[in-house]
């Protein structure tokens, strides 16, 4: 279980416990957090679960694979250092305290 903070574009914070084994996207979906649409259901076939990872967490996450990197090209205002797709971030105890911020919109 990991406590993850999701910050909406307007600054509203949602701090939720997400069970290990789920993805950060599934944690948002299961807790009704607005701003992560996840149109493809987690198949890494869209960019509607795009977030900006807090700078302190960028180096702690697994590296981006080629498929995720390709999908981020379609995200709204991707940031080369901080953008990730939450469907590709598997929750574990190592992610306890993760902070992500949603972009202004998902496309």
Question: pLDDT digits over 24-52, tens only?
Answer: 999 999 999 999 999 999 999 999 999 99
Return the pLDDT at 83.
98
Separation between Cα atoms, residue 92 and residue 90, nearest integer Å: 7
Mind listing the domains of the chain with CATH numbers?
2-101 (3.10.20.30)
Burial (0-12, 13-18, 19+ Cβ within 10 Å), 6: buried
pTM beyond cutoff 0.85: yes
Token pair 């979906």: residue: 29
- Paired sense of beta strands 2-7 and 13-18, if any: antiparallel
């Amino acid at each position: 279980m990991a406590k993850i903070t999701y910050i909406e574009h307007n600054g509203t914070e949602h701090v939720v416990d997400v069970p290990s084994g789920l993805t950060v996207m599934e944690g948002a979906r299961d807790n009704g957090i607005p701003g992560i649409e996840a149109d493809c259901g987690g198949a890494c076939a869209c960019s509607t679960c795009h977030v900006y990872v807090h700078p302190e967490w960028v180096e702690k996450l697994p590296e981006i694979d080629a498929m995720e990197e390709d999908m981020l090209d379609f995200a709204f205002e991707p940031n080369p250092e901080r953008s990730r797709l939450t469907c590709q971030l598997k929750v574990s105890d190592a992610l306890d305290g993760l902070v992500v911020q949603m972009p202004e919109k998902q496309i």
